[in-house]
Amino acid sequence: MMIKSTMCYIRSFKNLIMSSTSSLGTPCRATALVAIAALVSLCIMFFWTSPLTKRPPPLPATKQYLERHRTKTTSSPAKEKPVLLLWVWPENYRFDLSDCKTIYNIDGCHLTDDRALYSSSDAVLVYHRAISQDLSTLPPSPRPSFQKWIWLNVESPTNTQKIAGIENLFNLTLSYREDADIPVRLRLTGNKTPNEDFKIPKKDKLVCWIVSNNAAHTGVGKRNAYYNELKKHVNIHLFGKAYGTFLDYKDYYPTIASCKFYLSFENSIHKDYITEKFNGPLSAGTVPVVLGPPRKNYERFAPGDAFIHVDDFPDAKSLAEYLTQLDRDEDAYRRYFNWRRHFSARPHLIVQNQEFVLAICTACDHVARHKEYQEAHDIYEWFFN
Ligand X SMILES: *[C@@H]1O[C@H](CO)[C@@H](O)[C@H](O)[C@H]1NC(C)=O
Residues that are catalytic: 155
Interface with ligand X includes 119 (CB under 6 A)? no
Residues 6+ apart with CB under 8 A from 364: 84, 100, 106, 108, 109, 111
Interface with ligand X includes 121 (CB under 6 A)? no
Q: What share of the chain is helix, strand, coil (3-state, %, to 5)?
A: 45, 15, 40
Of 74-82, 192-200, 214-222, 373-381: span binding ligand X (CB under 6 A): 373-381
Residue 206: CB atoms within 10 Å? 17
Question: How big is the chain by its Cα radius of gyration, in Å?
Answer: 32
Interface pattern 149-168 for ligand X (x via CB under 6 A) = -------------------x
Among 146, 246, 249, 384, binds ligand X (CB under 6 A): 146
Among 91, 329, 375, 378, binds ligand X (CB under 6 A): 375
Residues 6+ apart with CB under 8 A from 368: 81, 82, 106, 108, 109
Which is closer to ligand X, CB of 147 or CB of 283? 147
CB of 209 to ligand X, least distance (A): 43
Interface with ligand X includes 171 (CB under 6 A)? yes
Which is closer to ligand X, CB of 98 or CB of 168? 168
Of 40-48, 233-241, 304-312, 368-376: span binding ligand X (CB under 6 A): 368-376
d(CA 92, CA 73) in angstroms, rounded, equals 38
d(CA 276, CA 347) in angstroms, rounded, equals 9
Of 16-24, 81-89, 311-319, 370-378: span binding ligand X (CB under 6 A): 370-378
d(CA 170, CA 378) in angstroms, rounded, equals 9
Interface with ligand X includes 50 (CB under 6 A)? no
Interface with ligand X includes 373 (CB under 6 A)? yes
CB of 165 to ligand X, least distance (A): 13
Interface with ligand X includes 374 (CB under 6 A)? yes
CB of 373 to ligand X, least distance (A): 4
Interface with ligand X includes 46 (CB under 6 A)? no
d(CA 281, CA 295) in angstroms, rounded, equals 17
d(CA 244, CA 256) in angstroms, rounded, equals 17
Of 159-167, 272-280, 315-323, 369-377: span binding ligand X (CB under 6 A): 369-377
Beta-bridged to residue 263, according to DSSP, are 289
Residue 214: CB atoms within 10 Å? 14
Which spans of this chain sit near ligand X (rule: CB under 6 A)?
A: 146, 148, 168, 171, 373-375
